[in-house]
Amino acid sequence: MKQELIKISNLKVLGGDGVYRSSDGLLITKDQKIIELYFDDESFLKCTFDHKIKTPDGWKTAKELQIYDNVLGCGDKHITLLHKEISKQKQDVYDLINVETTHSYVANNVQISNCIVLDEYAYVPNGVAEEFFSSVYPTISSGKNTKAILISTPKGLNHFYKTWTNAQNGKNGYVPIEAKWYDVPGRDDKFKQQTIANTSEAQWRTEFECDFVGSENTLIAPSKIANMIFGVPQTSTPEGLDIYEPPQKNHIYAMCIDTSRGEEQDYHAMSIIDCTKMPYRQVAKFKNNTISYQVIPHHIKKLGDMYNEALALFEINDLGQAVAEILHEELEYGNILSVSNRGKRGQKADGGFGSGKVQMGVRMSYQIKKMGCSLLKDMVENDKLIIQDFDTISEFSTFVARGAGYEANEGYNDDLVSTLVLFGWLTTQSYFKDYTNSDVRQRIYEEQIRKIEEQVMPFGFFNDGVGADDDNIDIFDDRNEKQRRADDMELWKD
């Protein structure tokens, strides 16, 4: 679905009360199925099936209107519907938005309401959806009769998923309504099996089961992603900072940083993790693709200072080294983690006190990413790392197996996940274990062993009498003696 918002200054439209009122402009929706309505005063109206039309009994959709129903025209004059038919061709429709006071207007002598229907909303790119909705939301929120209807099959954990989840939890004004394949008459298990055979299991789950996480190849198990609960930031800034938990005195924080060129392509991304105790917690995130790499060090220093001079770990594959040097030399930030590059023996976070070439961060290699992904998966799935940010959870849903490793699906980015991959690798380093006095892998291993032991049924015991106490032996022998005497007596009788 393609929509276009055209703002028109000094636009006046006829309200239902016969008074001309101001409107902000036109919303054009492309290629819609429409219905044609014909009235007894020779009025004629084309609109979508769900568009609201005013009747003496209140608002009804065009689809709900029956032949000979009365609707209201200009000045509440009654006119009668004589004929309706569905157009054979899709057409563009036009809706006046934000009509002053009444939020309704007269079109071809029929009173209609502001109503926005966004079809396949999940397939609108994130940035476009947010910008569009910001433009039209004043129309929706300011009128009693204005409506917004979002219709879509799922497509990952994007803006539509966020709206849907918040509606289910009562955190917004939307009413969640779900329709699955078996709600359609005539569809049975045979239909399901045939559809899967013609498409795929993943496509079936998305298109028919309304499964937001359709891929099976995500780093984090789809079932875990679907149950991850995102929080509401306590503080958000236009630059892209979301704070979920403010800094606390004597807490230990790590700040993992993936920088970019700031040219509206890849993002500067930072995740701040509270490492004081397990489970570790993501307490803040920063994501921005417009700030220059020469300016981003100032934002990093401000955040690092705020979070008790957090331990900063950079990915230095692109401009990370330059950003780290500006932060260290010009801004004098003192808690940047140095890494020793030992050639074939790999990289080790040791604060620059080990052997090998010292660098201000880690160069992301296949081995580093593999180790980081493995630990990240274990921590998230075993609830040793709590993710609170919606954008990060969204990236998990598209961070999938590609070749021998993991990366974002085409058309998506994984900058925030990359910062957590860095953190996963960091937790394997002795420097981090000493810095935080914790060992993630050991804790996960010990808990897994404990769970296995709890699931194993205890063995029973069989006593064969060997090693019994003296009293038992006496009883045993005494019984044998009585039996022997009885047998002898029977022989004597014979």
Rounded to whole angstroms, the Cα distance separating 320 from 326 reads 10
Which candidate, 30, 33, 25, places its Cα nearest to that of 9? 25
The dihedral through the CA atoms of 108, 111, 114, 116 has a sign that is negative
Backbone angles phi, psi at 225, to 5 degrees: -60, -45
Task: Report residue 13 as tokens.
Answer: 């439209």
Tens digits of residue pLDDT in 435-466:
888 666 666 666 666 666 666 555 555 555 55
Tens digits of residue pLDDT in 253-272:
999 999 887 666 678 999 99
Tens digits of residue pLDDT in 35-91:
999 998 888 888 888 888 889 988 888 889 999 999 988 778 889 999 999 888 888
Burial class (CB in 10 A: 0-12, 13-18, 19+), 269: buried
Is the distance from CB of 409 to CB of 396 less than 8 angstroms? no
User: Residue holding tokens 């009128």?
Assistant: 143
Torsion angle, CA of 22/27/28/31, rounded to 10 degrees?
-130
Residue 421 CB neighbours (<10 A): 27
CATH superfamily of 3-152: Hedgehog/Intein (Hint) domain (2.170.16.10)
Q: Give the mean pLDDT of 421-433.
A: 91
pLDDT over 50 at 470, yes or no: no
Q: What percent of the chain has pLDDT over 90?
A: 28
Rounded to whole angstroms, the Cα distance separating 164 from 175 reads 9
Which residue stretches of 121-200 are H helix? Answer: 126-142, 159-168, 189-198
Same fold flag, 3-152 and 229-449: no
Is the distance from CB of 191 to CB of 356 less than 8 angstroms? no
Please report the pLDDT score of residue 212 as a whole number: 74
Is the distance from CB of 362 to CB of 347 less than 8 angstroms? yes
State yes or no: is 120 an active-site residue.
yes
Q: Tell me the CATH class for 229-449.
A: alpha beta
pLDDT over 80 at 3, yes or no: no
Domain boundaries, the chain: 3-152, 183-225, 229-449
SS3 144: coil
For the question of whether the overall pTM of this predicted structure is more than 0.75, the answer is: no
Please report the pLDDT score of residue 328 as a whole number: 92
Cα maximum dimension of the chain: 132
Tens digits of residue pLDDT in 318-363:
888 899 999 999 999 989 998 888 877 788 888 766 667 888 889 9
Query: Is omega for the bond preceding 279 within 30 degrees of 0, making it cis?
Result: yes
Among 4, 64, 120, 447, the one annotated catalytic: 120
How sure is the predictor about 473, in pLDDT bands with cuts at 50, 70 and 90?
very low
